[in-house]
C-alpha cells in the first residue's frame, strides 16, 4: 500500500500551505483508486483521468489535480521511484475568465438588519476587509492590532488589512462578550468549519462569501483607481488575478464606448460617409 506521508512532508517542507497539501493528497488518493500502482501511470493515463472530469469538475478543480500530479511525480522522480515524471508533459489548464458575481449593497444592508454581532462580523469581513472564506473563518483575536488585521493568506503569505470602522465596531463587540480566541469558535474547539460559515453568510445575504470579496474589491478600486492597493488588500500575487476580480459595470462600458468618439475638426458624420 502506498504511503503518502513522505510526500506530505515534502509538500509541507516547501512553499505549500497545509490546506494545499491536504488538497493534493486527496487528489493523489483518488487517482490511486483508478491506478493502484501510481508509478506505472503514463501521461496518457493522467490525461484520460483529468479529461474524463471535464464535465463534472470546474477548471479550478482540474487545475488543482494537474498541480497535484506534477508535484507528486516530481517528488517520486527525486526519490528515484520513477525514471521520468508522466505529469511533466501535461498541458496547462487555463481558468476561463468570467464576469464575477457581486453581492449587491442592498443584499448586504438587508442582511445586517437583525443579524447577530457574529453574523454581522462575518459579512463585513468579506465585504469590507475582502477576506477569503478560510481567512475570515479562522480569524483569531490575536490577529487584530488596533485598527489593523494581520492576515495569513494563500501560501502562508502575510498581509496587513486596515479595518473599516463598521467592521471594527463588530469585532470589538465580539471581543467584549467572548473569551479570548477565535472570533467564530467551533463547538468542539478551534474555529468553525468554513462550510458552516459559508452556509450562514449565504443564508442571510442570499449570496456567497466570494461575491462579498468581489464586491469589496470592486468598490475599493472604484474609490481609489489604485490597482496596486487593491492587489495588496486582496493578497494577490499578480495584478492579472486582481483584475479578474473587478466587476466592470455596463454603465462604465457605455462611458468607455462614448469616450471612443472619433475626434475630427471637419465635423465627420456617418451621413457624410454615406
Q: Going from the N-terminus, what domains does the chain have, and what CATH number goes with each?
A: 5-78 (no CATH), 105-252 (1.10.443.10)
Is the whole model's pTM more than 0.75, yes or no?
no
Instruction: Convert the pLDDT of each residue in 128-157 to its tens digit.
Output: 999 999 999 999 999 999 999 999 888 778
Instruction: Convert the pLDDT of each residue in 222-266 to its tens digit.
Output: 888 888 998 999 998 888 777 777 766 555 656 666 666 566 555
DSSP secondary structure, 21-82, as one string: HHHHHHHHHHHHHH-SSGGG--HHHHHHHHHTTTTTS-HHHHHHHHHHHHHHHHHHHHTTS-
Amino acid at each position: 500500500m502506498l504511503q503518502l506521508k513522505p510526500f506530505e512532508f515534502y509538500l509541507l517542507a516547501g512553499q505549500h500551505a497545509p490546506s494545499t497539501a491536504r488538497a493534493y493528497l486527496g487528489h493523489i488518493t483518488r487517482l490511486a483508486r483508478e491506478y493502484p500502482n501510481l508509478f506505472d501511470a503514463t501521461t496518457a493515463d493522467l490525461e484520460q483521468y483529468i479529461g474524463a472530469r471535464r464535465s463534472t469538475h470546474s477548471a479550478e478543480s482540474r487545475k488543482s489535480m494537474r498541480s497535484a500530479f506534477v508535484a507528486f511525480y516530481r517528488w517520486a522522480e527525486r526519490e528515484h521511484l520513477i525514471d521520468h515524471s508522466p505529469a511533466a508533459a501535461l498541458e496547462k489548464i487555463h481558468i476561463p475568465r468570467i464576469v464575477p458575481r457581486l453581492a449587491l449593497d442592498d443584499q448586504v444592508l438587508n442582511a445586517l438588519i437583525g443579524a447577530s454581532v457574529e453574523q454581522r462580523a462575518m459579512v463585513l469581513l468579506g465585504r469590507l476587509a475582502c477576506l477569503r472564506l478560510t481567512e475570515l473563518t479562522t480569524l483569531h483575536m490575536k490577529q487584530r492590532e488596533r485598527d489593523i488585521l494581520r492576515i495569513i493568506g494563500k501560501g502562508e503569505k502575510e498581509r496587513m488589512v486596515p479595518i473599516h470602522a463598521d467592521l471594527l465596531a463588530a469585532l470589538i463587540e465580539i471581543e467584549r462578550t467572548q473569551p479570548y480566541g477565535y472570533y467564530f469558535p467551533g463547538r468542539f474547539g478551534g474555529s468553525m468549519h468554513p462550510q458552516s460559515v459559508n452556509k450562514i453568510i449565504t443564508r442571510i445575504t442570499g449570496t456567497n462569501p466570494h461575491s462579498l470579496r468581489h464586491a469589496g474589491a470592486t468598490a475599493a478600486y472604484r474609490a481609489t483607481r489604485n490597482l496596486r492597493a487593491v492587489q495588496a488588500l486582496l493578497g494577490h500575487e499578480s495584478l492579472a488575478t486582481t483584475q479578474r476580480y473587478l466587476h466592470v459595470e455596463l454603465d462604465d462600458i457605455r462611458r468607455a464606448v462614448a469616450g471612443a468618439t472619433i475626434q475630427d475638426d471637419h465635423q465627420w458624420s456617418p451621413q457624410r460617409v454615406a
